[in-house]
Structure 1
C-alpha cells in the first residue's frame, strides 16, 4: 500500500496499520507483489491504496463484481465500517440488498440521466423499479 497522502490534514489519517486492521488478509500477504494476489485481495489492495490518500470521497464502481461470495461479503462489511467511521463513499452497483443496508441515498442513472432517486426504504418498496432498471 502506498505512502500516506494526508493533504487535507485529516486529524486521524489512514495508516498501514489501519488498512491492515480493515483488511487483515492484506497484512498476511504483505510480502507478495500485487499481481500475485487473488482478485478479491487485489480489490482490497485498491481500496486500501485509495484510503491511504485520505480522500473526502471514495468512489467504487462494481467493487465486488466477479468475486467469490465470502470476499464480496468482506468488502461490503468494509464499506459498512467505512460509513460508520464517517467516510463518504459513492458506490456504483446493482446489489440492492447490500446497497440498501449501507446507503443513505440511491440514484438510478440511465443513459447519463438520473431517472430516480430516493432512500433505501423507497427503493426496497419499489420492486418494479428494481426489475425495470436493475434487472432484478
Structure 2
C-alpha cells in the first residue's frame, strides 16, 4: 500500500488501497457533480429536476390547497447559497429577507432542491420576477 498525501493523512486517510498511481481524476469540479435533495418531515424527497434553458418568469399558475397565510414551494438553485436565494427573492418581492422561510442551508457549490415559503400576499408578485440559476415550482398554500 502506498502512503496517502499529507493533506489526506490529516483527514484520516493513511494509505491508498493500491500501489498503482492515480488516474488524475477530479471530484466535484462542476456544480453538477454534487446534487443535494431535501427530505421533508413526511419523508418525501424534494428532487432536483433538469433546469430550463433560459430564465423565465416564475408564474405560479396553480397554487393548490385552501388559501392560507403562506405559499410553500420547491426552490432549486445552482451556484448560490440558500441565504443568497432568500435575499434575492425578498428583494424581488419587496419583502424583508426574514419573511422568506426555509429549513436549513444547502451547499453553494452544488445543484440543490429544498422547500421554502413566503407570505401568500406575495403570490401575485411571483409572476413578475425573472430569476437566474433559481427555479421555483410546486406552489401550494400552507
Shared fold by TM > 0.5?
no
Name the TM-score, length of structure 2 as normaliser.
Answer: 0.24
Greater relative contact order, per chain length (Cα 8 Å cut-off, separation 6+): 2
Name the TM-score, length of structure 1 as normaliser.
Answer: 0.24
Greater radius of gyration (CA): 2
Structure richer in strand, relative to its length: 2
